[in-house]
Amino acid sequence: MRVPSQPASVATIERAGLGRPQAVAVWTTWVVALGLAVLGLVEALPSGLGTAAFAAATLLVVLPTVTVGALLVTRLPHHIVGRLLLAGGVSFAVGNGFGALADYGLNVHPGSVPGAIWFAVFSQALNGTFMGLLWGYVPLYFPTGRLPSRRWWPVPVLAAVPTPQADTTWSSCASPNSTPARCSFATS
């Protein structure tokens, strides 16, 4: 039996990780995020060098972010930085994968993807989530997984409150009379 004043042994620390089903779920999430980022790259290749370069850069951002997040979540499940990295990377990958589907369904082959306009809307919303999670919350909780002091508790609470955006592009593209030219933001 370990006395509370003694440091934890290596075996105790290693057993603190996730169980097998949770670890499988985390790594399945990693595979899905990587697949959606690759989907964005594959869909962007015929569109030209600039779009393909952006999709490749997206893949280079998603891969390390999701990988480090998955490693931290499986090794240190109660550390919030791992969860934030995993969620941020997944939201960026899903946003870009949805953007690729929207581009294919609205611009490349109009009408081939049912509900493509909603993929475009969710793509734009999820990319903002990525920025908020990685640029807002990770610096607050890094490296300890806790806020710097008790006085910081309003900062994450206020950051979680969404700011209203008056984005007329979404509302005009969601109308039944929308055309690919009016929904040009759907290109990834």
Q: What is the pLDDT of residues 139-152, one digit of tens each?
A: 888 888 888 888 98
- Enter the tokens of residue 31: 């595979």
DSSP for residue 48: -
Per residue in 69-105, pLDDT (tens digit) is 999 999 888 889 999 888 888 888 888 888 888 888 8
- Which of 116, 105, 99, 104 minimizes the C-alpha distance to 36? 99
pTM for this prediction: 0.71
Give the whole-angstrom CA distance, residue 33 versus residue 149. 34
- Given a contact cutoff of 8 angstroms between Cβ atoms, the answer to whether 99 and 69 are in contact is no
Mean pLDDT of the chain: 77
Q: What is the dihedral of CA 5, 6, 9, 14, to 10 degrees?
A: 10
Query: Quick one: average pLDDT of 1-6?
Result: 53
